[in-house]
Structure 1
Amino acid sequence: MILYYALLIIDPSLIGIFINPFIVQFTIFTRVYFIACLLGVLIPGILFAIRSIKSDKPEINLQGKLLLIAFISFTIGALLTSSIPQMTIKVIARLILVTSSLEFYMGYLLPNWVKKILLKNDN
Protein backbone atom coordinates (compact mmCIF):
# COMPACT_ATOMS: atom_id res chain seq x y z
CA MET A 1 0.00 0.00 0.00
CA ILE A 2 2.83 2.39 0.83
CA LEU A 3 4.55 1.58 -2.46
CA TYR A 4 1.29 2.21 -4.32
CA TYR A 5 0.93 5.70 -2.81
CA ALA A 6 4.62 6.43 -3.33
CA LEU A 7 4.30 5.63 -7.03
CA LEU A 8 1.15 7.72 -7.20
CA ILE A 9 2.99 10.72 -5.76
CA ILE A 10 6.22 10.23 -7.75
CA ASP A 11 4.63 9.61 -11.14
CA PRO A 12 0.94 8.67 -11.58
CA SER A 13 1.72 7.08 -14.95
CA LEU A 14 3.50 4.31 -13.00
CA ILE A 15 0.03 3.31 -11.75
CA GLY A 16 -1.88 3.70 -14.99
CA ILE A 17 -2.75 5.95 -17.91
CA PHE A 18 -6.19 7.37 -18.72
CA ILE A 19 -7.27 6.38 -22.21
CA ASN A 20 -10.56 8.24 -21.79
CA PRO A 21 -12.60 9.25 -18.72
CA PHE A 22 -13.97 5.71 -18.29
CA ILE A 23 -11.01 3.56 -19.30
CA VAL A 24 -7.61 3.30 -17.60
CA GLN A 25 -4.65 1.29 -18.87
CA PHE A 26 -3.08 -0.13 -15.70
CA THR A 27 0.60 -1.07 -15.35
CA ILE A 28 1.83 -4.54 -14.38
CA PHE A 29 2.45 -3.42 -10.78
CA THR A 30 -1.12 -2.19 -10.45
CA ARG A 31 -2.55 -5.38 -11.95
CA VAL A 32 -0.56 -7.60 -9.58
CA TYR A 33 -1.54 -5.41 -6.61
CA PHE A 34 -5.18 -5.49 -7.71
CA ILE A 35 -5.21 -9.28 -8.06
CA ALA A 36 -3.60 -9.65 -4.62
CA CYS A 37 -6.29 -7.42 -3.11
CA LEU A 38 -9.03 -9.36 -4.89
CA LEU A 39 -7.65 -12.65 -3.57
CA GLY A 40 -7.51 -11.08 -0.11
CA VAL A 41 -11.25 -10.48 -0.35
CA LEU A 42 -12.27 -13.60 -2.29
CA ILE A 43 -10.58 -16.34 -0.25
CA PRO A 44 -11.81 -15.30 3.23
CA GLY A 45 -15.20 -14.45 1.72
CA ILE A 46 -15.61 -17.91 0.23
CA LEU A 47 -14.46 -19.55 3.47
CA PHE A 48 -16.99 -17.45 5.42
CA ALA A 49 -19.78 -18.29 2.96
CA ILE A 50 -19.00 -22.03 3.05
CA ARG A 51 -19.13 -21.99 6.85
CA SER A 52 -22.50 -20.28 6.67
CA ILE A 53 -23.80 -22.80 4.13
CA LYS A 54 -22.95 -25.63 6.54
CA SER A 55 -25.23 -24.12 9.20
CA ASP A 56 -28.36 -25.98 10.31
CA LYS A 57 -30.42 -22.79 10.32
CA PRO A 58 -32.11 -22.22 6.95
CA GLU A 59 -31.69 -18.43 7.16
CA ILE A 60 -27.93 -18.66 7.76
CA ASN A 61 -27.68 -21.28 5.01
CA LEU A 62 -29.44 -18.94 2.57
CA GLN A 63 -27.21 -16.05 3.59
CA GLY A 64 -24.16 -18.21 2.94
CA LYS A 65 -25.38 -19.10 -0.54
CA LEU A 66 -26.09 -15.46 -1.36
CA LEU A 67 -22.69 -14.39 -0.06
CA LEU A 68 -20.92 -17.10 -2.05
CA ILE A 69 -22.61 -15.85 -5.22
CA ALA A 70 -21.82 -12.25 -4.24
CA PHE A 71 -18.10 -12.84 -3.66
CA ILE A 72 -17.71 -14.74 -6.91
CA SER A 73 -19.68 -12.23 -9.00
CA PHE A 74 -17.81 -9.31 -7.39
CA THR A 75 -14.49 -10.90 -8.32
CA ILE A 76 -15.59 -11.58 -11.90
CA GLY A 77 -16.95 -8.04 -12.30
CA ALA A 78 -13.85 -6.45 -10.83
CA LEU A 79 -11.52 -8.51 -13.02
CA LEU A 80 -13.51 -7.67 -16.15
CA THR A 81 -13.61 -3.98 -15.26
CA SER A 82 -9.87 -3.76 -14.77
CA SER A 83 -8.60 -6.06 -17.49
CA ILE A 84 -10.64 -5.53 -20.66
CA PRO A 85 -10.71 -1.98 -22.06
CA GLN A 86 -13.72 -2.40 -24.37
CA MET A 87 -16.67 -0.21 -23.42
CA THR A 88 -19.30 -2.94 -23.89
CA ILE A 89 -17.39 -5.25 -21.53
CA LYS A 90 -17.07 -2.37 -19.05
CA VAL A 91 -20.85 -1.91 -19.05
CA ILE A 92 -21.44 -5.64 -18.53
CA ALA A 93 -18.81 -5.73 -15.79
CA ARG A 94 -20.37 -2.78 -13.99
CA LEU A 95 -23.77 -4.48 -14.18
CA ILE A 96 -22.19 -7.56 -12.61
CA LEU A 97 -20.76 -5.34 -9.86
CA VAL A 98 -24.17 -3.77 -9.21
CA THR A 99 -25.70 -7.24 -9.03
CA SER A 100 -23.02 -8.34 -6.60
CA SER A 101 -23.78 -5.36 -4.35
CA LEU A 102 -27.42 -6.46 -4.21
CA GLU A 103 -26.29 -9.99 -3.42
CA PHE A 104 -24.06 -8.67 -0.63
CA TYR A 105 -27.01 -6.70 0.73
CA MET A 106 -29.26 -9.75 0.73
CA GLY A 107 -26.51 -12.02 2.06
CA TYR A 108 -25.51 -9.87 5.00
CA LEU A 109 -28.86 -8.36 6.00
CA LEU A 110 -31.39 -10.88 4.57
CA PRO A 111 -34.47 -8.63 4.43
CA ASN A 112 -37.83 -10.15 5.30
CA TRP A 113 -39.10 -9.90 1.73
CA VAL A 114 -36.16 -12.01 0.53
CA LYS A 115 -36.80 -14.54 3.31
CA LYS A 116 -40.44 -14.84 2.25
CA ILE A 117 -39.52 -15.39 -1.39
CA LEU A 118 -36.55 -17.74 -1.03
CA LEU A 119 -37.33 -19.74 2.11
CA LYS A 120 -40.18 -22.20 2.31
CA ASN A 121 -42.03 -21.92 5.61
CA ASP A 122 -43.57 -25.13 6.86
CA ASN A 123 -45.41 -23.32 9.68
Structure 2
Amino acid sequence: MVFNLIDIVNGIFSMIFVICSVLIGVKIILKYRPTNNPTFVYMGLTWIGLTSPWWGSTIGFVIGLFNDGQGISLSAYLLITITLLPVFILFYLKAITDLLWRQAQGVLIITYGIVGALFMIAYIYFSLVAPEVVGGLENPVDIRYNTFASYYLMLIILTFLIGGVFFGKASLKSKNASVRFQGKLLIIAFCSFSIGAFLDASIKLNVIGLLITRGILISSALEFYTGFILPTFLQKRFLE
Protein backbone atom coordinates (compact mmCIF):
# COMPACT_ATOMS: atom_id res chain seq x y z
CA MET A 1 0.00 0.00 0.00
CA VAL A 2 1.33 3.41 -1.00
CA PHE A 3 0.64 6.54 1.03
CA ASN A 4 -2.12 8.76 -0.33
CA LEU A 5 -2.11 12.55 -0.06
CA ILE A 6 -3.84 12.74 3.31
CA ASP A 7 -1.46 10.13 4.77
CA ILE A 8 1.54 12.13 3.56
CA VAL A 9 0.20 15.39 4.99
CA ASN A 10 -0.66 13.65 8.25
CA GLY A 11 2.75 12.01 8.56
CA ILE A 12 4.80 15.07 7.60
CA PHE A 13 2.99 17.44 9.94
CA SER A 14 3.01 14.92 12.78
CA MET A 15 6.77 14.67 12.35
CA ILE A 16 7.21 18.46 12.24
CA PHE A 17 5.12 18.89 15.38
CA VAL A 18 6.96 16.15 17.28
CA ILE A 19 10.46 17.28 16.27
CA CYS A 20 9.73 20.94 17.04
CA SER A 21 8.19 20.01 20.39
CA VAL A 22 11.07 17.76 21.44
CA LEU A 23 13.59 20.48 20.58
CA ILE A 24 11.52 23.07 22.44
CA GLY A 25 11.13 20.76 25.43
CA VAL A 26 14.89 20.16 25.60
CA LYS A 27 15.55 23.89 25.26
CA ILE A 28 13.21 24.61 28.18
CA ILE A 29 14.83 21.86 30.28
CA LEU A 30 18.27 23.36 29.65
CA LYS A 31 17.00 26.63 31.11
CA TYR A 32 17.32 24.90 34.49
CA ARG A 33 21.11 25.22 34.46
CA PRO A 34 21.36 29.04 34.64
CA THR A 35 18.25 29.46 36.82
CA ASN A 36 18.34 26.39 39.08
CA ASN A 37 14.53 26.40 38.77
CA PRO A 38 13.10 22.85 38.47
CA THR A 39 9.90 24.21 36.91
CA PHE A 40 11.76 24.40 33.60
CA VAL A 41 12.60 20.69 33.83
CA TYR A 42 9.04 19.68 34.68
CA MET A 43 7.50 21.84 31.97
CA GLY A 44 10.03 20.78 29.35
CA LEU A 45 9.33 17.12 30.05
CA THR A 46 5.60 17.85 30.07
CA TRP A 47 5.67 19.37 26.61
CA ILE A 48 7.71 16.49 25.20
CA GLY A 49 5.31 13.98 26.77
CA LEU A 50 2.20 15.75 25.53
CA THR A 51 3.31 15.06 21.96
CA SER A 52 3.32 11.29 22.60
CA PRO A 53 -0.05 10.75 20.86
CA TRP A 54 1.74 11.74 17.64
CA TRP A 55 4.84 9.58 18.12
CA GLY A 56 3.20 6.55 16.53
CA SER A 57 2.13 8.58 13.51
CA THR A 58 5.64 9.94 13.08
CA ILE A 59 7.37 6.57 13.41
CA GLY A 60 4.77 4.82 11.28
CA PHE A 61 5.24 7.40 8.54
CA VAL A 62 9.03 7.15 8.54
CA ILE A 63 8.95 3.34 8.45
CA GLY A 64 6.25 3.39 5.78
CA LEU A 65 8.42 5.54 3.53
CA PHE A 66 10.91 2.69 3.31
CA ASN A 67 8.40 -0.16 3.42
CA ASP A 68 5.93 0.51 0.59
CA GLY A 69 3.54 2.38 2.85
CA GLN A 70 3.42 -0.33 5.51
CA GLY A 71 3.86 1.19 8.94
CA ILE A 72 3.99 -0.49 12.33
CA SER A 73 1.58 -2.94 13.93
CA LEU A 74 -1.38 -1.74 15.98
CA SER A 75 0.18 -3.04 19.20
CA ALA A 76 3.46 -1.26 18.52
CA TYR A 77 1.63 1.93 17.56
CA LEU A 78 -0.32 1.90 20.81
CA LEU A 79 2.69 1.18 23.00
CA ILE A 80 4.76 3.90 21.34
CA THR A 81 2.15 6.59 21.82
CA ILE A 82 0.42 7.31 25.13
CA THR A 83 1.79 4.57 27.39
CA LEU A 84 3.90 7.03 29.41
CA LEU A 85 1.44 9.93 29.30
CA PRO A 86 0.38 9.34 32.95
CA VAL A 87 3.99 9.90 34.00
CA PHE A 88 4.36 13.11 32.03
CA ILE A 89 1.15 14.58 33.45
CA LEU A 90 2.60 14.11 36.94
CA PHE A 91 5.54 16.34 35.96
CA TYR A 92 3.00 18.93 34.86
CA LEU A 93 1.02 18.71 38.10
CA LYS A 94 4.23 19.02 40.13
CA ALA A 95 5.15 22.21 38.29
CA ILE A 96 1.68 23.74 38.54
CA THR A 97 1.13 22.88 42.20
CA ASP A 98 4.60 24.09 43.18
CA LEU A 99 3.56 27.51 41.92
CA LEU A 100 -0.18 27.73 42.54
CA TRP A 101 -1.81 25.04 44.66
CA ARG A 102 0.86 23.86 47.06
CA GLN A 103 -1.67 22.78 49.67
CA ALA A 104 -3.44 20.51 47.17
CA GLN A 105 -0.26 19.09 45.65
CA GLY A 106 -0.28 15.78 47.50
CA VAL A 107 -3.94 15.04 46.82
CA LEU A 108 -3.72 15.91 43.13
CA ILE A 109 -0.53 13.98 42.46
CA ILE A 110 -1.68 10.90 44.37
CA THR A 111 -5.10 10.94 42.69
CA TYR A 112 -3.70 11.35 39.20
CA GLY A 113 -0.96 8.86 40.02
CA ILE A 114 -3.47 6.16 40.98
CA VAL A 115 -5.70 6.85 37.97
CA GLY A 116 -2.64 6.93 35.72
CA ALA A 117 -1.26 3.65 37.09
CA LEU A 118 -4.59 1.91 36.54
CA PHE A 119 -4.74 3.34 33.03
CA MET A 120 -1.20 2.19 32.21
CA ILE A 121 -1.87 -1.34 33.44
CA ALA A 122 -5.07 -1.65 31.39
CA TYR A 123 -3.57 0.12 28.39
CA ILE A 124 -0.44 -2.03 28.21
CA TYR A 125 -2.39 -5.23 28.82
CA PHE A 126 -4.94 -4.63 26.09
CA SER A 127 -2.32 -3.21 23.71
CA LEU A 128 -0.50 -6.54 23.91
CA VAL A 129 -3.42 -8.96 24.24
CA ALA A 130 -6.35 -7.32 22.44
CA PRO A 131 -5.24 -4.02 20.85
CA GLU A 132 -8.54 -3.57 19.02
CA VAL A 133 -10.13 -2.87 22.41
CA VAL A 134 -7.95 0.23 22.77
CA GLY A 135 -8.17 1.54 19.22
CA GLY A 136 -7.80 0.86 15.54
CA LEU A 137 -5.49 2.06 12.79
CA GLU A 138 -7.35 3.92 10.06
CA ASN A 139 -4.12 3.99 8.06
CA PRO A 140 -0.40 3.67 8.93
CA VAL A 141 -0.28 7.24 10.29
CA ASP A 142 -3.63 7.65 12.02
CA ILE A 143 -5.43 5.92 14.87
CA ARG A 144 -8.82 6.20 16.50
CA TYR A 145 -8.90 5.39 20.21
CA ASN A 146 -11.81 3.57 21.79
CA THR A 147 -13.41 3.45 25.24
CA PHE A 148 -11.17 4.22 28.20
CA ALA A 149 -8.24 5.56 26.14
CA SER A 150 -10.42 8.32 24.66
CA TYR A 151 -11.75 9.30 28.07
CA TYR A 152 -8.26 9.41 29.55
CA LEU A 153 -7.00 11.60 26.71
CA MET A 154 -9.88 14.01 27.29
CA LEU A 155 -8.98 14.12 31.00
CA ILE A 156 -5.37 14.98 30.15
CA ILE A 157 -6.38 17.72 27.71
CA LEU A 158 -8.76 19.30 30.24
CA THR A 159 -6.16 19.06 33.01
CA PHE A 160 -3.55 20.70 30.83
CA LEU A 161 -5.93 23.46 29.75
CA ILE A 162 -7.35 24.31 33.18
CA GLY A 163 -4.00 24.24 34.96
CA GLY A 164 -2.35 26.18 32.16
CA VAL A 165 -4.92 28.96 32.14
CA PHE A 166 -4.57 29.43 35.91
CA PHE A 167 -0.79 29.36 35.54
CA GLY A 168 -0.90 32.01 32.83
CA LYS A 169 -3.36 34.17 34.77
CA ALA A 170 -1.04 34.14 37.78
CA SER A 171 1.71 35.55 35.55
CA LEU A 172 -0.59 38.38 34.46
CA LYS A 173 -0.54 39.72 38.03
CA SER A 174 3.20 40.32 37.92
CA LYS A 175 4.55 43.88 37.96
CA ASN A 176 7.12 42.81 35.36
CA ALA A 177 5.91 43.56 31.82
CA SER A 178 7.89 40.65 30.34
CA VAL A 179 6.33 38.18 32.77
CA ARG A 180 2.84 39.48 31.98
CA PHE A 181 3.51 39.15 28.26
CA GLN A 182 4.79 35.61 28.75
CA GLY A 183 1.66 34.82 30.75
CA LYS A 184 -0.48 35.85 27.79
CA LEU A 185 1.59 33.68 25.47
CA LEU A 186 1.24 30.69 27.79
CA ILE A 187 -2.53 31.06 27.97
CA ILE A 188 -2.64 31.16 24.17
CA ALA A 189 -0.35 28.10 24.03
CA PHE A 190 -2.47 26.05 26.43
CA CYS A 191 -5.66 26.96 24.57
CA SER A 192 -4.12 26.33 21.14
CA PHE A 193 -2.81 22.91 22.11
CA SER A 194 -6.10 21.88 23.70
CA ILE A 195 -8.13 22.96 20.67
CA GLY A 196 -5.74 21.31 18.23
CA ALA A 197 -5.53 18.08 20.23
CA PHE A 198 -9.31 17.88 20.65
CA LEU A 199 -9.94 18.42 16.94
CA ASP A 200 -7.26 15.92 16.00
CA ALA A 201 -8.62 13.27 18.34
CA SER A 202 -12.35 13.67 17.80
CA ILE A 203 -12.93 14.61 14.15
CA LYS A 204 -12.04 12.78 10.96
CA LEU A 205 -10.11 15.43 9.04
CA ASN A 206 -9.53 16.03 5.35
CA VAL A 207 -6.31 17.57 4.01
CA ILE A 208 -7.39 21.14 4.75
CA GLY A 209 -8.57 20.18 8.22
CA LEU A 210 -5.27 18.43 8.91
CA LEU A 211 -3.26 21.45 7.79
CA ILE A 212 -5.29 23.74 10.04
CA THR A 213 -5.23 21.40 13.04
CA ARG A 214 -1.53 20.61 12.84
CA GLY A 215 -0.83 24.28 12.22
CA ILE A 216 -2.60 25.08 15.49
CA LEU A 217 -0.55 22.42 17.29
CA ILE A 218 2.75 23.62 15.85
CA SER A 219 1.87 27.22 16.76
CA SER A 220 1.08 26.08 20.32
CA ALA A 221 4.60 24.66 20.61
CA LEU A 222 6.12 27.97 19.54
CA GLU A 223 3.83 29.88 21.90
CA PHE A 224 4.77 27.56 24.76
CA TYR A 225 8.45 28.13 24.04
CA THR A 226 8.17 31.92 23.94
CA GLY A 227 6.04 31.81 27.08
CA PHE A 228 8.95 30.29 28.98
CA ILE A 229 11.93 31.65 27.08
CA LEU A 230 11.04 35.03 25.63
CA PRO A 231 13.37 35.77 22.70
CA THR A 232 15.08 39.14 22.67
CA PHE A 233 13.53 40.19 19.37
CA LEU A 234 10.03 39.69 20.81
CA GLN A 235 10.92 41.75 23.87
CA LYS A 236 12.08 44.56 21.62
CA ARG A 237 9.08 44.21 19.33
CA PHE A 238 6.32 44.19 21.94
CA LEU A 239 7.77 45.57 25.16
CA GLU A 240 9.97 48.47 24.14
Same fold (TM over 0.5): yes
Q: Which runs of 4+ in 1 moved over 3 A?
A: none
* Distance in structure 2 (CA, Å) of the matches to 1:114 and 1:36: 33
Task: Kindly indicate whether residue 116 of structure 2 is the aligned counterpart of residue 116 of structure 1.
Answer: no
Q: For 1:36-115, list aligned pairs within 5 A.
A: 36-88=155-207, 89-115=209-235
Alpha-carbon distance, 1:11 to partner: 1.4
C-alpha distance in structure 1 between counterparts of 2:228 and 2:196, whole Å: 19
Identity of aligned residues (%): 39
Distance 2:215 2:152 in 1: 24
TM-score when scaled to structure 1?
0.90
- Name the residue aligned to 1:29: 148
State the SS of the aligned residue for 1:55: coil
Say which SS state the counterpart of residue 17 (structure 1) adopts: strand
Once structures 1 and 2 are overlaid, which stretch shifts more, 106-115 or 39-48?
A: 39-48
Separation in 1 of the partners of 2:125 and 2:155? 18
Structure 1, unmatched stretches of 5+, are none
Number of residue pairs the alignment of both structures matches: 120
Question: What amino acid is the match of 1:107?
Answer: G
2:236 counterpart SS class:
helix
Q: Is the 8 A contact 1:23 1:85 kept in 2?
A: no
Whole-Å separation in 1 of the counterparts to 2:123 and 2:156: 12
1:77-113 CA-to-partner distances (Å, cap 9, x unmatched) read: 0001111112332221111000000100110100101
Judge conservation of contact 1:24–1:85 (CA < 8 Å) in 2.
no
5+ residue gaps, structure 2, are 1-119
RMSD: 1.2
Amino acid at match of 2:166: L
What SS does the corresponding residue of 1:110 show, helix, strand or coil? coil
Query: What secondary structure does 2:161 align onto?
Result: helix
How high is the TM-score relative to the length of structure 2? Answer: 0.48
